[in-house]
């Protein structure tokens, strides 16, 4: 069994470790939201996008 150097001393979290964990979690959530948004835009039909653009404002027109 191989042990990492200094493994007998134990591991203590430092402030930077907590910041890195929070940053990674935030970026994973952001990536998931971007994937959900992309999927919802790709799956919309052309007819529904046109209908939404006729009903709505500038945000709906951006679909076309």
**Cβ(63)–Cβ(52) under 8 Å?**
yes
pLDDT of residue 5: 56
Q: How far is 63 from 50, CA to CA, in rounded Å?
A: 8
Q: Considering the entire predicted model, what is its pTM?
A: 0.58
Q: Contact 64/50 with Cβ under 8 angstroms?
A: yes
Q: What is the dihedral of CA 56, 60, 61, 64, to 10 degrees?
A: -140
For residue 5, give the DSSP letter: T
| Both structure tokens of 25 | 């979690």
pLDDT tens, position by position, 7-50: 566 778 899 999 999 999 999 999 999 999 999 888 878 888 78
């Amino acid at each position: 069994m191989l042990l990492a150097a200094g493994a007998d001393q134990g591991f203590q979290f430092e402030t930077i470790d907590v910041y890195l964990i929070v940053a990674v979690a935030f970026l994973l959530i952001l990536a998931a939201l971007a994937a959900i948004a992309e999927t919802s835009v790709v799956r919309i039909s052309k007819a529904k996008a046109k209908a939404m653009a006729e009903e709505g404002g500038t945000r709906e027109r951006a679909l076309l």
